[in-house]
Structure 1
């Protein structure tokens, strides 16, 4: 059977700090085109690669990779909340197959996810429960993080499993491109924040969660006026990354060290590893064809914002 892919940047700042109306219209059109393509493809299974932002995964146990046997979205920043439609038995079989391929992945039967997972499901599919979805977490923020090579190998193993199914499979990568919003770090956190990063952040009260949202909103507004207030966006690197995805030479990123990427494009740019995994999964079907490409640096969203669509060659 055939496979379809769509990789899309996510942002929690939609509706809170937005770019000009013509930019929003441009992005909306790109998403609408992708949604139409997905509807025509009519996937029987979705495999979603996404990160977390200390809402579901914490330093009490921080896996490099984790596959959800069941998952709920918390609804942060106004994103969709509720249960994701996960085919538990199939997800377990997929995890077993990945482990047998030599890629270590954790599993969760109570995965908690945030806007990084919920936003693409809502924007591209119309909701959290429209299609059976296997959620795949990639640690893209908490040191030590997996390398590009391991992310590629994870995707290849999942793609090999998916190819063996008699199903139409949609791969989604959610994250990136260059950006560094104000995400706390364990090494510099105060005692309260350190406790949150160690696990108590799973159960924030409404006041603390609202304060967290406001900190990001304030940082975005300041970044619009002063783009040295945070790590600057790097459109040049972003487009070079997109070129690599288009070229199908995914291994070209294997030698890029995590610390170097943080310096080049920002500490949250590691979210592009979700794209690498998604494209590696698609590559298991053989050569692929790019059907659409979009990119724009958007300071209001503290993000190099991009999208790529591709399908397995027919």
Structure 2
């Protein structure tokens, strides 16, 4: 069958530190237009590539990739909470196909996900439970991380699996673009934070979660005032990246190292590997045409905010 794709930046700061009403309306109109295109496509299955922010995946075991057989959203930053409607047998078949193709992935029967998964389902489909979804985690914050080539190969393997289904498949990539919010690092972390990063943060006490969220909100407000308080956004790189995906030149990023990407656009920019995997999955269906492109620097959300659709041509 055919496939449709949408890649979208996410931010936990939506509703907490927003841009001007005019810009917010522009973003909302962009998302509404994407939602209409998706509704017209009428997907029967969603494959969702997204990262995590030390809410579901920790250094007790940190896989580069993980396919969920079941998943629950925790509802951080007021995002939607609850179970995702994962078709377990189909997700299991997907994982087998990916591994048999030569791409190693972990699997989880109790995946815990955060706003990175929940926001695109809310914004693009209207909720977590609107369509069966196979959630695919790509590590975008915890070193060592997969590079662009591995993300591309993962996406191609999942795309070949999806192409063999008799379904209309919506492929979503969630995250990015350039940004570096105050995400903790294991190296140099004090004892309490180290313990959290090693896995105790999976069930974070509510008061501590609120303090964590407030740190991000405060950092965003400071970033609006001084965009050197965090790693600056890089709209040039962001738009070049969107060009590469739109034009199908995916392998051009195979040689870009993780260190180079962090220096260019910030340590959390690695989330864009979800976009790479999504476009690689779409490419398995054959030629595609990009549409609905949008980009704006949004320091209020500490991100270069992008939105991009594409449709397979077969």
TM-score by length of 1: 1.00
* Residue of structure 2 equivalent to 1:186: 186
Offset at residue 252 of structure 1 (A) = 0.4
* Residue of structure 2 equivalent to 1:309: 309
* Residue of structure 2 equivalent to 1:17: 17
* Residue of structure 1 equivalent to 2:169: 169
Instruction: Give the whole-Å Cα distance in 1 for the aligned partners of 2:100 and 2:60.
Output: 26
* Residue of structure 2 equivalent to 1:98: 98
Instruction: Give the whole-Å Cα distance in 2 for the aligned partners of 1:303 and 1:242.
Output: 15
* Residue of structure 1 equivalent to 2:62: 62
Q: What secondary structure sits across from 1:82 in the alignment?
A: strand
Q: Does 1:145 align with 2:142?
A: no
Offset at residue 95 of structure 1 (A) = 0.3
Structure 2 counterparts to residues 272-291 of structure 1, below 5 A: 272-291=272-291
Instruction: Give the whole-Å Cα distance in 2 for the aligned partners of 1:144 and 1:14.
Output: 29
Per-residue Cα deviation, 1:239-284 (whole angstroms, up to 9, x for no partner): 0000001110100000000011000000000000000000000000
* Residue of structure 2 equivalent to 1:229: 229
**Deviation >2 Å, runs of 4+:** none
Instruction: Give the whole-Å Cα distance in 1 for the aligned partners of 2:131 and 2:165.
Output: 16
Instruction: Give the whole-Å Cα distance in 2 for the aligned partners of 1:132 and 1:186.
Output: 35
Per-residue Cα deviation, 1:61-115 (whole angstroms, up to 9, x for no partner): 0000000000000000000000000000000000000000000000000000000
Offset at residue 129 of structure 1 (A) = 0.8
Q: What secondary structure sits across from 1:7 in the alignment?
A: strand
Per-residue Cα deviation, 1:199-241 (whole angstroms, up to 9, x for no partner): 0000111100000000000000000001110000000000000
Q: Does 1:41 align with 2:41?
A: yes
* Residue of structure 2 equivalent to 1:200: 200
Offset at residue 292 of structure 1 (A) = 1.1
Query: For structure 2, which runs of at least 5 residues remain unmatched after alignment?
Result: none
Query: For structure 1, which runs of at least 5 residues remain unmatched after alignment?
Result: none
Instruction: Give the whole-Å Cα distance in 2 for the aligned partners of 1:212 and 1:127.
Output: 25
